[in-house]
Amino acid sequence: MSVENYGVDLAIINVEDGMKRVLGNKKLFFKLLSGSKIQENSDELIAAMESGDLESARLIAHKIKGIAANLSMTALYQIVVELEENLKAGVAGSTDELIKVVDLSVKAISQLVEEA
């Protein structure tokens, strides 16, 4: 598995699904997106991994998974599910590429939200 396998569509936010979740309130949806603190959580995840704190990394991955699920970031959600499972299993070595993909995806999502 490599970062390239995930492609550009990582940044896609399923806006149609997100709008359903907020009953069509576009302003609320984008307010929730911009207030999600997903970038901060991604930074904390990377720091936890770099320090070797796998339990904190798993908990942070779980937070990111919840944010992604609630805000219709479907591709990110799927990646973080895999990451969290690897961290639970203690398979830290297989998480390196997933961490890179999460970071790239979160940065792309953050940029989209800033431009919206």
Residue that is written with structure tokens 């940029």 in the block: 111
Query: Tokens standing for 12?
Result: 């896609």
Domains of the chain: 8-115 (1.20.120)
Least Cα distance to 80 among 93, 96, 99 occurs for: 99
Residues 53-84 pLDDT 10s:
999 999 999 999 999 999 999 989 999 999 99
pLDDT at 92: 66
Each residue's pLDDT tens digit, 9-23? 444 788 889 889 999
Is the pLDDT at 8 greater than 60? The verdict is no
pLDDT of residue 73: 93
Question: Does the pLDDT value for residue 35 go beyond 60?
Answer: yes
**Beta carbons within 10 angstroms of residue 9's beta carbon:** 10
Report the Cα–Cα distance between both ends of the chain, in Å, rounded. Answer: 31
Residue located via tokens 């979160």: 106
pTM of the model: 0.85
Closest CA to 112 of 71, 78, 77: 71
